[in-house]
Homo-oligomer: A and B are copies of this chain.
Amino acid sequence: METSLNSTKSLIIKAALGIFAQKGFKGATVREICAAADQSVGAINYHFRDKQGLYEAVTQALLEELMLNTSPEPQNSSTMQPEARLHFLVTSFLKRFGMLFDGGDNGQRAIFMLREILNPSADFTRLFLSFQAWQKDYLLRIISDLTGCRPESPEVARSAISIIGQCFHFVFGRRLFGLLGMEASQAKEISKCAEHIVKFSLGGVKAVTGAKK
């Protein structure tokens, strides 16, 4: 069984990703997908059993690609300054999801992902959780260390939303920025964005908690 990049399976998955992203599961038709992949309609039944199986294969492929860019929590985390841990967290977030805009597909993988966040399938939820869950407590701990507040306090929880919200928006906010008339072009330079988010957030958390530091 060939599994090269130009195999029938790969061609169909690639085409399906783009069309699912644009039109959703119901909106995309198997004929349309096969035409885009230059394959016959029977190929979906043969390689993926049915349309649903194809969709799951697309989800799987995207999440596996995302896995490759995933860094685990660093080993020397306990010895790192909270500022450095925050920088690491923000950078890994921007890298992991910012990658979805590379590859010349005009961000179709990102749109597919946003669709899944809006209506998560079981597969997506499980896999997404498995490599994302550690970040919650990690971030709460960082803010706690920065401010001296307890990790369970509402100020820390709200600050976490502020920080994740910034990260999310620097990556996925293009659609909204377009509607608001803003430009998100600079979101491409990951290190510059990360630096901004870290500095902004350090100032933010100290402002909301009145941290002496």
Contact = CB atoms under 8 A, between A and B. Distances in A.
Interface in A68-101: none
A132 B200 contact: no
A201 interface: yes
Interface string A124-142: 0100110011011000000
B180 A136 contact: yes
A175 to B, nearest CB: 5
Interface in A117-164: 117-120, 125, 128-129, 132-133, 135-136, 154-155, 157-162, 164
A161 B136 contact: no
Number of copies: 2
A180 B24 contact: no
Interface in A178-213: 179-184, 186-187, 193, 196-197, 199-208
A86 to B, nearest CB: 13
Interface string A34-63: 000000000000000000000000000000
Given A165-B166, A183-B157, A175 B208 contact: no
Given A179-B132, A181-B136, A203-B206, A173 B161 contact: yes
The prevalent SS among residues of A at the interface is: helix
A122 to B, nearest CB: 12
A176 interface: yes
Contacts of A119: 22
Contact of A170 (B133, B165, B181, B203): B165
Contacts of A120: 175, 179
Closest 8 CB pairs of A and B: A203-B207, A165-B169, A200-B204, A26-B27, A203-B203, A26-B26, A204-B204, A158-B196
Interface of A: 22-27, 111, 114-115, 117-120, 125, 128-129, 132-133, 135-136, 154-155, 157-162, 164-166, 168-170, 173, 175-177, 179-184, 186-187, 193, 196-197, 199-208
